[in-house]
Amino acid sequence: MNKRNFSILILMALIAISCSKSPMNNQDYISRYKAVFTQPPKKVPTPTTPDGPIAGNGDVGIVFGGKPDSQQIYISKVDFWKAKRGYPDGGVCLPGGLSINIPELKGAAYYTEQLIEDGTIRQEFKADGLLFHLTSFVPSGNNSIIIEMGTEGTKNCPVIIDLWAKKGLESKNDSGISGDINWVSRSFDSTDLDWPTHIVMAMKTIGATGTNFTMKPGQKVYVVISACTNHDNPGYSAAAIKNAQDIDESAIKNLRESNRNWWKDFWAESLVEIGDTTMEKYYYASQYILASCSRNNIFPPGLWMPRSMHGRVITIPITIIRLPGGAAILPITLQ
Q: Which pLDDT does position 6 carry in this prediction?
A: 60
Q: Which pLDDT does position 2 carry in this prediction?
A: 63
Tell whether 155 is covered by a domain: yes
Tell me whether the omega of the peptide bond preceding residue 53 falls within 30 degrees of 0, making it cis: no
Q: Which pLDDT does position 272 carry in this prediction?
A: 85
- Per residue in 294-313, pLDDT tens? 999 899 886 655 555 544 33
At CB < 8 A and 24+ separation, what contacts does 203-206 make? 203/98, 203/161, 203/163, 203/244, 204/180, 204/244, 204/245, 204/247, 205/161, 205/180, 206/248, 206/249, 206/252
- Per residue in 246-293, pLDDT tens? 999 999 999 999 999 999 999 999 888 888 999 999 999 999 999 999
Tell whether 162 is covered by a domain: yes
Q: Could you report how far apart the first and last alpha carbons of the chain are, in Å?
A: 15
Please name the helix (run of DSSP H) or strand (run of DSSP E) that holds residue 252, with its range, or none.
helix 249-268
Q: Is the pLDDT of residue 188 over 60?
A: yes
Q: Which pLDDT does position 160 carry in this prediction?
A: 98
Q: In total, how many domains does the chain have? A: 1
Which CATH number characterizes residue 279's domain? 2.70.98.50
**pLDDT bucket at 103, cuts 50 / 70 / 90:** very high
Q: Which pLDDT does position 304 carry in this prediction?
A: 54
Q: List the Cα angle 177/139/101 in 5-degree steps.
A: 50
Tell whether 172 is covered by a domain: yes
Tell whether 295 is covered by a domain: yes
Tell whether 136 is covered by a domain: yes
Query: How much is the pTM?
Result: 0.84
123: containing domain: 36-313
What is the percent of the chain where pLDDT is above 90?
Answer: 73
Q: Is the pLDDT of residue 97 over 60?
A: yes
